[in-house]
Chains A and B, each alone.
Chain A
Amino acid sequence: MSEHFEYLVRAGDPELVVARARLARRQAELLAVLVSGGPAPEGFDPEQVRVQTQGLLAKRRDTVARVAPEVARILGDDYLPLFRRYAQQGPAVGGYRADARAFAEWAVDWAAVGAPHTPWRPALERWLRPAEPPRRRWRRFHG
């Protein structure tokens, strides 16, 4: 961080500090609705908010499918509707790979409760926890 940057951060103009706080609150309000659903914040067009919510969901769903194509392949036609339900639980935590794993874990749990005989469940469990490679018996313990 340059000295100039530190100077700017320290010498915050009070009006600007207030403007930042206001902007932070408004952006957080909108984003909370976009990622978790709920009524459009006051003053917004509800239809526009709905379309933007769909846009965020599609971006997340498609990016997860790109970084973890196996998950989308295993789930087949169930991928889209299940991802929609999953995304309603809350925003992604961590990167898209972490999101893909979290989604797969959620889908396995969902199937265990709601659809125990669904054909993709074993494959998804194997994707999540591939069998560990067999240990070499002759490996010696170095103490």
Chain B
Amino acid sequence: MTSAATALPRLGVGIGWRAEIDTVVERLPGLDWVEVVAENLCLDQLRAGHLPESLRVLRERGVTVVPHGVALGLGGAELPDPERLSRLATAAQALDAPLVSEHLAFVRAGGVEAGHLLPVPRSRDSLRVIAENVRIAQQELPVPLALENIAAHLAWPEDEFTEGEFLAELVERTGVRLLVDVANLHTNRVNLGLDIAAELDRLPLEAVAYVHVAGGIEVDGVWHDTHAHPVTEPVLEVLARLCERALPPGVLLERDDHYPPPAELAGELDAIRAVLEGRLEHV
């Protein structure tokens, strides 16, 4: 079901599960849910009913696991690849996930893999193409799909919409849910001059499934959304501005490298909880 009428599950506060920190994640106090990168799961194992041991332990404890795709490229010109969609669907089923997420991005073109998420031209032309891609994905997936805004370093000359307006159009046309990455909004504020308050007003916040929070670093006036640095206050402030408008059903901390001691990760989760409770603390 993908209609807007379907209630969005309450996810709570979670963290991106990574094999390098699996035992740390298992021991984080008060963890409600985790996200797992769909491309990192072994499809044959999933089909045979086997989960990575740590995810099995978490599932047994009732921790929700949401597959997060990074290589589908729904913003690409080609029809979504049935095999990649099947991987997401299989992961959702094996993990008993309430939803899956992907990005509003293209990741390959002309036979070349970008290895990264790239912004799409936000024109009426590409809106029709991407809306069809989203509909196809929704048909193939057993659970609702949420689309994430990305961190970009460039804008297309074709752009007729902001990313928020474009996502709102996609919600309107397809009923897709949103994954709002507040670190990416901050990235686009620093790098492309995005007005975050205006962008939050443009996003249909009732469609938000959950929110991503991550750390990064500013070098020579450019914000790098590294997921390898601590979460900074400007990013938590964006989360606070979003929460003032509508409390999201879930928030997830992404950390992909240079893992800090477990207490530091737990502290970042506490800082997120504080923002959800209306208290913006220094991290």
Contacts and interface: CB of A to CB of B under 8 A. Distances in A.
Majority secondary structure of chain A interface residues (helix, strand, loop or mixed): helix
Contact of B118 (A8, A31, A58): A31
A6 B156 CA distance: 32
A77 interface: no
B110 interface: yes
Given A44-B154, A51-B222, A55-B153, A31 B129 contact: no
Give the interface residue-count category, chain A. Answer: 35 or more
Majority secondary structure of chain B interface residues (helix, strand, loop or mixed): mixed
Contacts of B155: 45, 48
A8 B132 contact: yes
Contacts of B140: 1-2, 5
B232 interface: no
Given A24-B110, A27-B77, A27-B110, A19 B115 contact: no
Contacts of A20: 77-78, 129
B246 interface: no
Interface in A15-47: 15-16, 19-24, 26-32, 34-35, 42-45
Contacts of A56: 114-116
Interface string B145-175: 0000000111111100000000000000000
B114 A19 contact: no
Contacts of A44: 154, 156-157
Interface of A: 1-2, 4-5, 8-9, 15-16, 19-24, 26-32, 34-35, 42-45, 48-49, 51-52, 55-56, 58-60, 62-63, 66, 91-92, 96
For the complex of A and B, list the 7 residue pairs with the smallest distance between their C-beta atoms, beginning with the closest.
A43-B157, A28-B110, A24-B77, A27-B109, A48-B154, A23-B77, A52-B153
24 contacts: A2-B139, A4-B139, A5-B82, A5-B136, A5-B139, A20-B129, A27-B76, A31-B112, A31-B114, A43-B158, A44-B156, A44-B157, A45-B155, A48-B153, A51-B153, A52-B152, A55-B116, A56-B116, A60-B115, A62-B257, A66-B257, A91-B113, A91-B115, A92-B115
